[in-house]
């Protein structure tokens, strides 16, 4: 039996720069792996079995798709139990991380020996976030998600000095829904040059350990427009807050750890006592 952990992520910067001729969107993202993890238990079995604590995933999901893809190399059946701790449709990358974690594990354990570049190309078949999770480092991600450039060294160390709280309101936004709405709002696209200027400013602010960071997410206006409670929350919190990805999940990032009780109180007051909220560290 093998235990595999698949971690979450946030985008502390996410700009969509346009639509390609093939219908996909180009983006520039500063993506950060976090300590919150799903747990996958894998065991060779006589037939394929999939169990999970999230009933919405009992159909054809990314874990099953990755296992099916690698059957030609592995030639095994598996009993898989997926314990979901990362909320779905939140922008925290849970499904993509699960798929990439299974891909990397099977490649190593069964000595398929695909290179990291090959794994990234395969991962892209299952989702734009999957190549990031193959590398799983603080990175600038561009193209449609296939270009992953690690931002290590001082920047990663400086970013890790901040405190991060994730939270998800009691509604979800699918990737398909978010991009469909974005196509009706072309004024929200920004140029690649502007995106690079903005992300460079954010990197400089993190390196300077600034209290308030110039976070950016193209989807924030789409999601916040329909949910004024998030606008109110952003204006009330004593820290930087932003949407994480294209889902409904958000994050707070702040210097002073003593602010945490106040932030938790405000989030629960606005979104309800049962709201998902979790403290995380940068991996």
Cα atoms found within 13 Å of the Cα of residue 28, Cβ hemisphere only: 17
The pLDDT of residue 33 is above 90: yes
Q: 10-14, 173-177, 233-237: lowest mean pLDDT where?
A: 173-177
| CATH (one of 3.30.230.10, 3.40.720.10, 3.40.50.2000, 3.40.50.300) for 2-150 | 3.30.230.10
- State the pLDDT at residue 60: 77
9 is catalytic: yes
Given the residues 9, 104, 135, 168, the one annotated as active site: 9
- State the pLDDT at residue 272: 96
For residue 225, name the pLDDT band (cuts at 50, 70, 90).
confident
- State the pLDDT at residue 191: 97
The answer to whether 44 and 77 are in contact (CB under 8 A) is yes
The pLDDT of residue 69 is above 90: yes
- State the pLDDT at residue 22: 86
The residue extents of the domains of the chain are 2-150, 153-280
Q: What is the average pLDDT score of the chain?
A: 95
Residues 106-142 have pLDDT tens digits of 999 999 999 999 999 999 999 999 999 999 999 999 9
The helix (H) or strand (E) run that includes residue 199 is: helix 192-207
d(CA 41, CA 5): 9
Given the residues 98, 129, 168, 278, the one annotated as active site: 129
d(CA 158, CA 42): 36
In percent, how much of the chain has pLDDT > 90?
92
For residue 59, name the pLDDT band (cuts at 50, 70, 90).
confident
- State the pLDDT at residue 153: 85
d(CA 214, CA 199): 9
Tell me the mean pLDDT in the region 240-261: 97
Listed as own residue / partner, the contacts of 105-112 with beta carbons closer than 8 Å and 24 or more positions apart are: 105/2, 105/4, 105/42, 106/66, 106/67, 106/70, 106/73, 106/74, 107/70, 109/2, 110/73, 110/74, 110/76, 112/70, 112/73, 112/74
Tell me the mean pLDDT in the region 237-248: 96
Residues 154-166 have pLDDT tens digits of 999 999 999 999 9
- State the pLDDT at residue 149: 97
d(CA 92, CA 251): 10
Phi and psi dihedrals of 195, rounded to 5? -60, -40
Helices within 208-279 (DSSP H only): 220-226, 228-236, 260-271
- State the pLDDT at residue 11: 98
- State the pLDDT at residue 139: 98
Q: Which residues pair with 28 in a beta bridge?
A: 15, 142
Question: The domain 153-280: what is its CATH number?
Answer: 3.30.70.890
């Amino acid at each position: 039996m093998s235990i595999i952990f698949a971690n979450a992520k946030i985008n502390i910067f996410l700009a969509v720069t346009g639509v390609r001729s093939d219908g996909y969107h180009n983006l520039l993202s500063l993506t950060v792996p976090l300590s919150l993890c799903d747990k996958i238990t894998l065991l060779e079995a006589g037939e394929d079995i999939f169990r999970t604590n999230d009933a919405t995933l009992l159909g054809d999901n990314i874990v099953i798709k990755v296992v099916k893809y690698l059957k030609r190399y592995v030639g095994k059946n598996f009993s898989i139990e997926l314990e979901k701790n990362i909320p779905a449709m939140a922008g925290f990358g849970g499904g993509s991380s699960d798929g990439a974690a299974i891909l990397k594990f099977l490649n190593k354990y069964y000595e398929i020996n695909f290179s990291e570049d090959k794994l990234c190309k395969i991962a892209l078949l299952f989702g734009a976030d999957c190549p990031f999770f193959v590398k799983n480092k603080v990175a600038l991600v561009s193209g449609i998600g296939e270009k992953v450039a690690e931002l290590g060294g001082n920047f990663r160390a400086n970013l890790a000095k901040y405190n991060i709280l994730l939270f998800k309101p009691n509604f979800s936004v699918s990737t398909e829904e978010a991009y469909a709405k974005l196509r009706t709002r072309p004024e929200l696209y920004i140029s690649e040059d502007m995106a690079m200027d903005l992300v460079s400013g954010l990197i400089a602010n993190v390196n300077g350990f600034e209290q308030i960071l110039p976070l950016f997410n193209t989807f924030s206006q789409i999601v916040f427009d329909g949910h004024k409670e998030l606008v109110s929350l952003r204006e009330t919190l004593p820290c930087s807050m932003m949407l994480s990805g294209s889902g409904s999940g958000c994050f707070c990032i702040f210097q002073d750890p003593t602010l945490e009780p106040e932030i938790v109180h405000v989030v629960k007051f606005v979104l309800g006592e049962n709201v998902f909220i979790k403290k995380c560290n940068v991996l």
